[in-house]
Amino acid sequence: MQPSSTLQPVGTQQHVGTHPDTTEAEEQSLPSIDLPPDADFYGDYLQKLKEITWRFEISLETYLMERGINRERKPISSWKTRIKSPDSMREKLIKRGYEPTAENAVYAVHDAAGVRVICPLVDDVASVAQFIRELPCFEVVQEKDYILHPKPNGYRSYHMILARTNDSELDPDATRRAAAKAAIEAQEISLSQLIDQLNTSGTFDAVESKGAEAQTGDNRFEFGRRVCVEVQLRTIAMDSWASIEHDLKYKKDVPNQEFLQAELKRCADEMAATDLSLQTIADLINVK
């Protein structure tokens, strides 16, 4: 993973306190995600990536709205959403040894959909992370703390991979039906045997193990066949540094690379110290 570039694709959309409608009937009014020109690389998965991003945005909007109603300070300054550009995704898949397919883009890596949340203070990052953990509609499947444990180059951020808790592909009955179908098609069990089993036990237990491999993508996928969204939580200072570092990283033929990298690391450490100073000031004036 290259954290400083993960959420820097072609086509992002920034949100600062908009309030999209959340009903199913008005879902089309939700803010659209700017997409790279060749987004059709994702095929039928594109809508799922957009949907999980929309759903997470709704959760953020609700959180901020509730804070506003209670006259509490809002711990989020803004956020940006994006679908990773196909060129970047293909490069990442090949680098990790995967075929550059839409299926692998969605299930083998977990940052095809991304949201970067910008917070004023370091403690706000912790507060928002805890809010995300408690969301009933999402499951946190992975967390990486690059604030407590910065990257060697100085990069700081808090990363969370989320999956929908009511993902239809995880529905037990749907999984059993698919397992039974796979077993029949593979001629591992006959339809009459399946009917006998259902009449006897009412379950597909005998074929679930045979169909499980097909359902999990031949065990290729760390979190199964689940559409995920990567959330990055940063302070304003962390985001500023990461944006500058990203721009410099992709400049060609830059002289004194080692010197520049050392300077960037120094800046990252100084900005981290500034973050801590700002948090201390906020604590002294009892900011809530």
Query: How much is the pLDDT for 140?
Result: 95
Per-domain residue ranges for the chain? 3-165+226-284, 170-215
The proportion of the chain whose per-residue pLDDT surpasses 70, expressed as a percent, equals 66
Contacts with 229 (C-beta within 8 Å, 6 or more apart), sequence order:
49, 52, 53, 56, 113, 114, 115, 161, 162
pLDDT tens-digit readout, 170-198: 444 444 455 555 555 555 555 556 555 55
- With beta carbons less than 8 A apart as the criterion, state whether 105 and 89 touch: yes
Beta-bridge mates of residue 119 = 235
Question: Residue ranges of the chain with pLDDT lower than 70?
Answer: 1-38, 166-220, 250, 252, 287-288
Query: How much is the pLDDT for 35?
Result: 62
DSSP string computed for 100-126: --HHHHHHTSS-SEEEEEEESSHHHHH
- For the chain, the C-alpha Rg in angstroms (whole number) is 22
Hey, which CATH number is domain 3-165+226-284, 3.40.50.2300, 3.30.460.10, 3.40.50.150, 3.40.1390.20?
3.30.460.10
Beta-bridge mates of residue 164 = 138
The residue count of the chain comes to 288
Query: How much is the pLDDT for 186?
Result: 59
